[in-house]
Structure 1
Amino acid sequence: MQKIILPFVSGFLASLFFREATLALLHAAQVIDAAGFSTDPFQPLGLPEFLVNAIWSAFWAVLMAWLLRVSPSRPAPWVQAFVFGGLVLTAATVFVVDPLRGIWPSGNMLPRLAMGFGSNAMWGWGALVFMRAFMNETDED
């Protein structure tokens, strides 16, 4: 259960409480234009964007837990989770998800990549926070 369900739930919650909250705080500080918790419909499903992001983040958290070997018996890989979220999720969004939606990388990508890295890095850190909070010390790897 700790290998799939807990990372899945942790990734979903981290998307809501860390990634989207980071975007909302940056928007409130007038650093970025995009606000967190976007309710714009994500095509072709029509679900709100923040919910689709949370579902995808849950799948990425399972991969992160497996790659970083997150377990209660090992030290928590805080920096690696931060970097995993920032690099992997941002790259997946820019080079896979957006082109599938018809949005191609062009022009000055630095502001968009910086915003993506920051919010997704906070997701990685938050996913690890939830994973460590939910894990039971008696379970094996």
Structure 2
Amino acid sequence: MQKLILPFVSGFLASLFFREATLALLHAAQFIDASGFSTQPFVPLGLPEFLVNAFWSAIWAVPMAWLLRVSPSRPAPWVPAFVFGGLVLTAGMVFVVDPLRGIWPSGNMLPRLAMGFASNAMWGWGALVFMRALMSETVED
């Protein structure tokens, strides 16, 4: 359970409580136009964007937990989780998800990349927070 379901649930919760909250705070501070918890329908599925983002974030949390070797017996990799979220999820957004939706990387991408890095880095940190909080001390095989 700690190797698959726990990271999945942690990634989903981190998207709602950390990533979307970061976007909402940046919007409230008038740094970005996009607000958190976007209910606009995601193009091919019709579901709200924040739910689709939470699902994909949950999927990304499984390889993050595996690559960073998250376990209760090891020290928590806080900085690598922050960097993993910021770099991997932002690259996935720019080079995979957006082109599938017809949005191509062009022009001045710095504001979009900065916003993506900030919110996704907070997701990585939040996913690790939830993983560590929900982990039991006994290891299941």
Q: TM-score, normalised by structure 2?
A: 0.98
How far 1:140 sits from its partner (Å)? 5.3
1:78 aligned partner: 78
1:22 Cα deviation (Å)?
A: 0.1
Q: Give 2:128's aligned amino acid.
A: L
CA–CA separation in structure 2 for the residues paired with 1:101 and 1:33: 20
Q: How far apart, in 2, do the equivalents of 1:39 and 1:59 lie?
A: 21
Residues in 1 aligned to 2:44 and 2:97: alpha-carbon distance in whole angstroms: 12
Name the structure 1 match of 2:11. 11
Q: Which residue of 2 aligns with 1:2?
A: 2
The CA deviation string for residues 28-81 of structure 1, in whole angstroms up to 9 with x for no partner, is 010100000000000211000000000000000001000000000000000000
Unaligned runs of 5+ in 1: none
Q: Give the Cα–Cα distance (whole angstroms) in 1 for the partners of residues 43 and 34 of structure 2.
A: 18
| 1:75-111 deviation line (CA, Å, top 9, x unaligned) | 0000000000000000000000000000000100001
Q: 1:88 is matched with which residue?
A: 88
| Pair 1:102 & 2:87 matched | no
CA distance in 2, matches of 1:109, 1:45: 26
CA RMSD of aligned residues (A): 0.8
**SS of alignment partner, residue 107 of structure 2:** coil
Count residues in correspondence: 141
Q: Give the distance between the partners of 2:124 and 2:138, measured in 1 at CA.
A: 24
* Residue of structure 1 equivalent to 2:125: 125
Counterparts of 1:3-82 in structure 2 under 5 Å?
3-82=3-82
Moved over 2 A (4+): none
5+ residue gaps in structure 2?
none
The whole-number CA distance in structure 2 between the counterparts of 1:19 and 1:57 is 9
Instruction: State the one-letter code of the partner of 1:60.
Output: W
Cα separation, 2, equivalents of 1:40 and 1:140: 40
What is the DSSP-based 3-state SS (H/G/I as helix, E as strand, rest coil) of the residue aligned with 1:44? coil
TM-score, reference length from structure 1: 0.98
- In the TM superposition, residue 129 of structure 1 has moved relative to its aligned partner by 0.0
Q: Report if the CA contact (8 A) 2:2-2:140 is conserved.
A: no
Aligned residues with identical type, % of pairs: 89
2:95 is matched by which residue type in structure 1? F
